[in-house]
Amino acid sequence: MNPEEIDQIAGIFQNLGAKEKQATTMATQLIKRADQLAKKRNSSRVSELQTLLTTAIYGAQGNLKPSKKEDSEQK
């Protein structure tokens, strides 16, 4: 995990309304989780980051990801 990567992802969270310190914390946690998932699933770190960021963006907008929305409607 490098500082430039954290800053880029933190910028996304700031654009979604988070304060700088909170955005940096969330970015660090998101990157760590992406690393964990990539190792566990034997997948790429980039694809895990993309999935997590997509989920975070939908959540910040008050929406569910389309696949999650379908799951919740079936219950």
Span 35-47, mean pLDDT? 96
pLDDT tens by residue, 7-37: 999 999 999 999 999 999 999 999 999 999 9
Instruction: Please report, for residues 22, 38, 40, 46, the alpha-carbon distance to residue 71 in angstroms, rounded to integers and kept in the order given.
Output: 30, 23, 23, 25
Least confident of 9-13, 36-40, 41-45, 62-66: 62-66
Q: Is the pTM of this model over 0.75?
A: yes
Residue 68, pLDDT > 70, answer no
> Looking at residue 62, what DSSP letter applies?
T
Q: Are 55 and 47 in contact (CB under 8 A)?
A: no
